[in-house]
Amino acid sequence: MQMHIDKYERAWIVAVTIILAVFFASLVAGAVIYGVRPTQPDGFINPLMLDESEFANPGVRHMGGNQYEAIVMAQAWQFLTGEVEDGVPVIRVPAGAEVTFRMTTRDVIHGFMIEDTHVNMEVIPGHIGSARETFEEPGEYYFLCTQYCGRNHQGMWGKVVVEETVIET
Ligand code: CUA
């Protein structure tokens, strides 16, 4: 007995095969030609050893010139930034500062996104994530958790306060 395939069905089989082949080829081309790789963490850290790491003491450090480092710990359900103002975690830097955010999480996956910047990352247990941003304009930039992390996920936010001060070098 001969199997009957409707001509439309045949057309879709061909189309889907071609589409999948094109997708797969673009994946391979991206990896081989353009060297596209999944984002890599800056480093690894044992979540049980955080109290003996830089994350035990979150806060902003001046690294010289206009370079600043913000050590931030995410945990359910707050960001520890080393400074709290009116109950809100604050990362305070002078205008013109190039800030490297170094982050990890004590518990589940969180996100860290700062409005009006390119900073938008996943904060993954055991990983140290980093992102760099230069803040030229004085003002307040809200940041928030972008991964649903439980009951008070919406309470995970804070702000980068960029002050109109001269950077001491
Ligand atoms: Cu932390 Cu959502």
Task: Read off the pLDDT of residues 79-135 as tens digits, 9 standing for 90 and up.
Answer: 999 999 999 999 999 999 999 999 999 999 999 999 999 899 999 999 999 999 999
Nearest to 127 by CA among 38, 47, 36: 47
State which H helix or E strand residue 2 sits in. none
Determine the distance separating the centroid of ligand 1 and the alpha carbon of 123, expressed in angstroms. Answer: 9
What is the pLDDT, as a whole number, of residue 1? 64
Q: Which atom of ligand 1 is nearest to the CA of 76?
A: 1
Determine the distance separating the centroid of ligand 1 and the alpha carbon of 160, expressed in angstroms. Answer: 17
- CA dist 79 and 125 (Å) reads 14
- CA dist 45 and 79 (Å) reads 18
- CA dist 88 and 125 (Å) reads 23
- CA dist 98 and 118 (Å) reads 13
What is the pLDDT, as a whole number, of residue 3? 78
Average pLDDT of the segment spanning 2-26 = 93
- CA dist 81 and 159 (Å) reads 10
pLDDT at 167 over 80: no
Whole-structure pTM value:
0.78
Confidence of residue 168 (pLDDT cuts 50, 70, 90): low
Q: Which atom of ligand 1 is nearest to the CA of 123?
A: 1
**145: Cβ below 6 Å to ligand 1?**
yes
**102: Cβ below 6 Å to ligand 1?**
no
- CA dist 19 and 22 (Å) reads 5
